[in-house]
C-alpha cells in the first residue's frame, strides 16, 4: 500500500484525505503500521479509528503518532476505559464510546466541534458546560457541541437551569 500510494502521489500529486483504521484486523501490528504511515504521509486530514475492546496503549499510540488530523472520529472502545489524550489541533472530534469522559475532561477540550456519545455526563454537567461557554470561560472557539442525554425527562429542568431559553412549538403542534 505504501508503494502504491507513493506511486499515485508522484503521478497525480495528491495527498490522502481520509484514513480509516479498523483495529480489529491488525492485532499486534499497530506500531509498525503507524510508524510506516508516519514516515510516508505528510498529514492525514480525516482519521477514523474503529474497534471493539482494544488495548488503551495501542489506541493512544495511533493518536500520538498519526500526523494530526483536523477531523478525528473514534469509534473504538478500550478494555481499560481510561481517558484518551486528544491532540489540541483537532477541529472536529467524535467519540462514540465515552463512558470515561468526565466534566473536567470536556472542560479541558480545545476542539471547535465535538460530539460525545455514550457518556455518563449528567444534565447538571451539561449545564456547567453551557454556562461556562456562555460566560466565555471555556470553549471560546466552539462552533458545535453534541452529546447524549442520560436523562431526557429532566434536561430542561436541570440542563438548562438558570440559562435563558425559548421553547418552540413541537412539530406535532404545527
Give the model confidence (pLDDT) of 83-130 as tens digits: 999 988 889 999 999 999 999 999 999 899 999 999 999 999 999 999
What proportion of the chain, given as a percentage, has pLDDT over 70?
97
**Across residues 153-166, what is the average pLDDT?**
91
What global pTM score does this model have? 0.84
Q: What is the DSSP letter of 127?
A: H
Q: Which three cell numbers stand for residue 34?
A: 503507524
CA dist list (Å): 117 to 66, 95, 111, 126: 23, 6, 16, 13
Q: Helix 30-40 vs helix 2-12: angle between axes, to the nearest 10 degrees? A: 20
Q: Would you say residue 76 has pLDDT above 90?
A: yes
* Residue-level pLDDT at 106: 95
Q: Would you say residue 142 has pLDDT above 60?
A: yes
Domain residue extents for the chain: 17-159
Amino acid at each position: 500500500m505504501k508503494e502504491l500510494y507513493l506511486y499515485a502521489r508522484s503521478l497525480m500529486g495528491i495527498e490522502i484525505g481520509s484514513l480509516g483504521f479498523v483495529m480489529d484486523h491488525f492485532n499486534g501490528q499497530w506500531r509498525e503500521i503507524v510508524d510506516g504511515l508516519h514516515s510516508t504521509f505528510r498529514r492525514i486530514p480525516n482519521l477514523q479509528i474503529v474497534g471493539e475492546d482494544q488495548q488503551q496503549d495501542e489506541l493512544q499510540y495511533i493518536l500520538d503518532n498519526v500526523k494530526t488530523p483536523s477531523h478525528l472520529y473514534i469509534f473504538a472502545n478500550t478494555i481499560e476505559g481510561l481517558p484518551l489524550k486528544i491532540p489540541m489541533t483537532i477541529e472536529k472530534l467524535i467519540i462514540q464510546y465515552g463512558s470515561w469522559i468526565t466534566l473536567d475532561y470536556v472542560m479541558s477540550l480545545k476542539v471547535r466541534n465535538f460530539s460525545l456519545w455514550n457518556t455518563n455526563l449528567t444534565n447538571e454537567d451539561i449545564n456547567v458546560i453551557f454556562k461556562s461557554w456562555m460566560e466565555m470561560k471555556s470553549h471560546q472557539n466552539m462552533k458545535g457541541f453534541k452529546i447524549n442525554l442520560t436523562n431526557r425527562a429532566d434536561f430542561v429542568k436541570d440542563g438548562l437551569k438558570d440559562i435563558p431559553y425559548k421553547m418552540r412549538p413541537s412539530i406535532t403542534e404545527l
